[in-house]
Amino acid sequence: MSLRVAGRRLAVVLTVPLLLLAACGGDDNDDGANGNGASGNGDSAATDEPDDADDGADAGSGEFPASVDHRYGTTELTEAPERVVTLGFSDQDAVLAFGVAPIAVTDWYGDHPHATWPWAQDELGDAEPVVLNEGAFTGMQDFDYETLAELEPDLIIGLYTGMTQEEYDTLSVIAPTVASSPDYPEYGMPWQETTRMVGRILGQGDRAEELIAEVDRQFADAAAANPAFAGVEMAVAELFEPGSSFVRSATDPRTVFMTQLGFVLPDDLAALAGDLDGAPVSDELMTQLDRDLLVWNIGHEPGLREQVEAKPLYDQLQVVQDDGVLFIEDPLVSGALTWSTVLSLPYALEQLVPQLAETVGGAA
């Protein structure tokens, strides 16, 4: 199974608008406003609630109207949403952090109940969101417009996605939709901005800053306790395709985790991936990964360490000879790093900082 993600550039065929009109056709409200008082994001959904999804917890503590800018414009809500759908692979964590349980989520990987990992189960509580793509992860994202329309959401959040303008336009017919920030590449928006954008559209902008400050404080404390981390050149690598490794880019959440602790991604590796989430490195060029610290994030699939260690040039790397390699093999720890959300990061810090300190030296 691959954890690499890419936005599929789907053509919005003529049947989709017809489908959405049929799904929304039961609404007698002709004023053009969305059912939750949203502006500028399409027609209201039908008023009958579907039977296959629990009502989500509402954002009653939020302040409205609320709005957020994103790569396709501005989305505004005039009242708290009650039926939130998350399309991004990790968007549910940010929504749950504000006390809002989505009615539907997207599954990435991990086989956890309701596509919600252990670090977010307390926030999920008794809610049972529909898993939109259960058992169907392909590394791409297809938006099932028919199912989404049937769910009758009043807010769609699609931040950790490759959503196109065309897809956004279609989703906005179903409900007010929030896309990612234009300031970052697809799948490259930092967790702080994800948290901030979700907080704003849920009317909890101040709470978002509090959550961000608390996790940032944990990073700062860990970095201060481990000055040996500062300036250490590193690479975060993974294994997906035979004959190559995959090195994570400067904007990828896994790399950002490391740089927040004081580690440094060398310029040549940053240039290799550019604005993408990472870049393949062939086994013949594996010496490109030879840095002070080499982190292998391989907990998503068993047996990957053996594949890494069997690569022809692996034993010749200086970082291997210096015991500067850290294998993240525990699925939960690897998942917390991969997700890198406001809810997963405290667990990732708790588990990984001692391992990093042991590898490069530090107080942990």
**Residues 180-196: pLDDT tens digits?**
999 998 888 999 999 99
When divided into structural domains, the chain yields a total of 2
Structure-model confidence comparison of residues 295 and 11, the more confident one: 295
pLDDT > 90 in the chain, percent: 75
Q: Specify the CATH number for the domain of residue 151.
A: 3.40.50.1980
Do 200 and 290 lie in a common domain? no
* Number of neighbouring beta carbons within 10 Å of residue 112: 15
Is 218 within the bounds of a domain?
A: no
Do 169 and 282 lie in a common domain? no
Do 200 and 331 lie in a common domain? no
pLDDT > 70 in the chain, percent: 81
Q: What is the three-class DSSP state of 329?
A: coil
Is 279 within the bounds of a domain?
A: yes
Do 292 and 337 lie in a common domain? yes
Do 157 and 61 lie in a common domain? yes
Query: By C-alpha distance, which of 180, 351, 183 is closest to 275?
Result: 183
Measured between alpha carbons, how far is 238 from 262 in angstroms, rounded to an integer? Answer: 21
Lowest mean pLDDT among 138-147, 148-157, 232-241, 247-256: 138-147
Is 212 within the bounds of a domain?
A: no
> How confident is residue 162, by pLDDT bands cut at 50, 70 and 90?
very high
Is 283 within the bounds of a domain?
A: yes
Q: What confidence tens digit (pLDDT) does each residue in 301-340 have?
A: 999 999 999 999 999 999 999 999 999 999 999 999 999 9
Read off the tokens for 317. Answer: 């790397």
Is 363 within the bounds of a domain?
A: no
pLDDT tops 80 at residue 216: yes
Measured between alpha carbons, how far is 23 from 316 in angstroms, rounded to an integer? Answer: 61
The reported pLDDT for the residue numbered 29 is: 40
Do 26 and 173 lie in a common domain? yes
Do 139 and 185 lie in a common domain? yes
Helices (H), 139-252: 145-151, 165-174, 191-201, 205-225
Is 244 within the bounds of a domain?
A: yes
> How confident is residue 141, by pLDDT bands cut at 50, 70 and 90?
low
Is 211 within the bounds of a domain?
A: no
Is 280 within the bounds of a domain?
A: yes
> How confident is residue 55, by pLDDT bands cut at 50, 70 and 90?
low
Domain membership of residue 333 as a residue range = 226-358
> How confident is residue 107, by pLDDT bands cut at 50, 70 and 90?
very high
